[in-house]
Amino acid sequence: MTPRAIDMAKLYVPAIFEHISSSFHQDVLEVYPSLEEALIDYLSWVSPSDLRVLRAFLDELLSGSYSIRDLSNIWDKAGSDWYFSDGMIRHFLDLMRVQIDVRLAT
Per-10-residue mean pLDDT of the chain, 106 residues long, equals 61 94 93 96 97 98 94 93 89 97 94
Q: Give the pLDDT confidence score for residue 8 in this predicted structure.
A: 64
Map out the domains of the chain as residue ranges: 15-105
Cα–Cα distance, 34 to 45 (Å, whole number) = 18
Are the beta carbons of 102 and 45 closer than 8 angstroms? no
Are 4 and 61 in contact, with CB atoms under 8 Å apart?
Answer: no
- 20 burial level (CB within 10 Å; 0-12, 13-18, 19+): buried
pLDDT at position 10 is 75
- Tell me the DSSP string of 78-92: TT------TTHHHHH
